[in-house]
């Protein structure tokens, strides 16, 4: 459950709050499970509860959720989901044939005080046929047939758009290969390093779907292309026409470690992935009478992860447009040590809207005492977003701290008290 007292909470406590203290992008610390940064830029906050039942090849999940929209005066027009029921069948062989099938089906009731609301049902079985065409290549054709039903129960619904359905298919093809080589080394406790190159090609086709009278609460469901790339580059809903081909190239370097007892483990030292989409429909679009140019080539997606040591990590998530240049650049550097000291430095850039540099430092000074420093600089608007310096003392079941924060329009001193089991205030 994630709730705050009011829509100004993350503006008043943009430097320090529970969500920032428990923010983590990894699963290394099981007690830090907040996957977003709870500061003044957070547009909304979702609370949810769910129950789950799993079997060997199928699972059933029921979920309710409530969203606080901080950009609105109230939540009357905010779309809520209660309940959401999802039945999932994992990919499995179809009897004794070479075919594989998987299944996804869900029922949702979307509610809001003002605007369209109602029932939604989505049923989508998938059939695929993976096979090898040589020692080094694998090809997988697949097709998903999707049936969508809806029934509105808001006061604005009339006989023409109160209920309806759509059926559509998404045909896809993937071609992939893996090439690798293992090197014997003697570096630290590494005894072998494996370099693997994985080239991939994807094709996705969705026919034109009638968009008339669709309710505005129909959720966005990823196409085969979006699922294959795991990125919003080439993003398209299964109810939107698509005829596109994509390529991806992934390089990984993995080290095998061996301790004195002979126990082995594996560490991914480096991962570099490049990917891009070519929109065939856009390339063939009739431009007669239009001053715009065709842009069939998507942004080039770049994902880079480097972890040469357990205490050092670096990540980059960039997008380069062949038409306008760099559109997004995101860099994160993390340094920590065995005492729990850590330093994080981040850079954020979005073309014509954002350029920000962030730094956070935490030092364990002596037993029980720690200090922190936070610097956030808005380069796009040429101003300091936040400078914070703080000192804290932690005992076994309680803690106390003080922070001084200066922003571009405010200065404040915050006293913090924490009791184990009761939280921080």
pLDDT in tens, 213-236: 889 888 888 888 888 887 777 667
Would 131 be classed as within a structural domain?
yes
Q: Is residue 28 part of a domain?
A: no
The pLDDT score that the predictor gives to residue 30 is 47
Number of domains in the chain: 1
Q: What integer pLDDT is reported at residue 230 of this predicted model?
A: 76
The per-residue pLDDT for range 363-406, each reduced to its tens digit, is 999 888 999 999 999 999 999 888 999 999 988 788 899 999 88
What pLDDT score does 312 carry? 94
Domain extent at residue 64: 43-336
Least reliable range by pLDDT among 8-12, 82-86, 100-104, 120-124: 8-12
Question: Is 33 domain-assigned?
Answer: no
Q: What is the DSSP string of 357-398?
A: EEEEEEEEEETTEEEEEEEEEETTTTEEEEEEEEEEEE-SSE
Q: What pLDDT is recorded for position 27?
A: 47
Q: Is the pLDDT of residue 31 over 70?
A: no
pTM: 0.82
pLDDT averaged over the chain?
A: 86
d(CA 62, CA 373): 42
Q: Using an 8 Å Cβ cutoff, are 235 and 276 in contact?
A: no
Q: Is residue 13 part of a domain?
A: no
Residue 16 confidence (pLDDT) above 80: no
Q: Give me the mean pLDDT over the 338-361 stretch.
A: 93
Average pLDDT of the segment spanning 75-81: 85
d(CA 31, CA 23): 10
Q: Cβ distance 375 to 387 under 8 Å?
A: yes
β-sheet bridge partners, residue 118: 110, 152
pLDDT band at 255 (very low <50, low <70, confident <90, very high): very high
Angstrom distances, CA of residue 380 to CA of 86, 176, 177, 254, 350: 43, 41, 42, 38, 10
Residue 127 lies in a domain: yes
* Per-residue pLDDT tens over the stretch 195-215: 999 999 999 999 998 888 889
> What integer pLDDT is reported at residue 28 of this predicted model?
47
Place of tokens 């949702």: 108
* Confidence (pLDDT) at 68: 79
pLDDT band at 23 (very low <50, low <70, confident <90, very high): low
Is residue 105 within 8 A of residue 123, CB to CB? The reply is yes
Does 275 score more than 60 pLDDT?
A: yes
* Residue 112 included in any domain: yes
Exposed/middle/buried for 171, CB within 10 Å: 0-12, 13-18, 19+?
middle
Q: pLDDT tens across 98-143, in order? A: 999 999 999 999 998 889 999 999 999 999 999 998 888 999 999 9
Q: Would you say residue 350 lies in a domain?
A: no
DSSP secondary structure of 59-89: EEEEEEEEEEETTSSSSTTS-EEEEEEEEEE
Provide mean pLDDT across the span 358-367.
91
**Has residue 364 been placed in a domain?**
no
| Residue 162 confidence (pLDDT) above 60 | yes
């Amino acid at each position: 459950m994630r709730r705050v007292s009011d829509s100004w909470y993350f503006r008043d406590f943009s430097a320090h709050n529970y969500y920032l203290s428990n923010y983590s992008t990894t699963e290394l610390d099981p007690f830090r499970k907040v996957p977003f940064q709870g500061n003044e830029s957070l547009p909304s906050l979702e609370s949810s509860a769910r129950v789950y039942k799993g079997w060997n090849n199928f699972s059933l999940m029921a979920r309710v959720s409530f969203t606080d929209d901080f950009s609105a005066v109230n939540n009357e027009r905010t779309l809520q989901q209660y309940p959401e029921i999802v039945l999932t069948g994992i990919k499995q062989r179809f009897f004794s044939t070479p075919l594989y099938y998987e299944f996804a089906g869900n029922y949702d009731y979307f509610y809001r005080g003002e605007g369209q609301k109602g029932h939604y049902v989505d049923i989508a079985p998938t059939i695929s046929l993976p096979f090898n065409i040589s020692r080094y290549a694998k090809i997988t054709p697949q097709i998903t047939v999707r049936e969508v039903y809806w029934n509105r129960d808001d006061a604005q619904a009339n006989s023409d758009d109160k209920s309806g359905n759509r059926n559509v298919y998404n045909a896809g093809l993937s071609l992939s290969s893996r090439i690798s080589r293992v090197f014997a080394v003697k570096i630290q406790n590494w005894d072998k390093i494996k370099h693997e190159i994985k080239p991939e090609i994807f094709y996705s086709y969705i026919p034109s779907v009638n968009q008339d009278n669709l309710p505005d609460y129909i959720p966005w469901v990823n196409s085969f292309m979006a699922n294959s790339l795991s990125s919003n580059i080439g993003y398209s809903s299964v109810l939107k026409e698509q005829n596109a081909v994509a390529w991806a190239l992934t390089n990984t370097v993995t080290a095998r470690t061996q301790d004195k007892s002979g126990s082995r483990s594996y560490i991914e030292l480096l991962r570099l992935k490049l990917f891009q989409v070519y929109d065939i429909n856009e390339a063939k679009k009739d431009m007669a009478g239009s001053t715009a140019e065709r842009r069939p080539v998507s942004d080039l997606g770049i994902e880079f992860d480097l972890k040469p040591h357990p205490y050092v990590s670096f990540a980059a998530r960039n997008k380069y447009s062949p038409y306008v240049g760099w559109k997004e650049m995101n860099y994160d550097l993390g340094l920590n040590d065995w005492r729990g000291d850590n330093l994080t430095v981040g850079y954020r850039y979005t073309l014509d809207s954002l350029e920000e540099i962030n730094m956070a430092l935490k030092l364990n000074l002596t037993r029980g005492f720690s200090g922190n420093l936070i610097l956030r600089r808005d380069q796009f608007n040429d101003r300091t977003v936040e400078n914070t310096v703080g000192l804290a003392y932690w005992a076994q079941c309680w803690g106390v701290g003080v922070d001084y924060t200066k922003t571009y329009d405010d200065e404040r001193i915050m006293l913090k008290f924490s009791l184990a089991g009761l939280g921080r205030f």
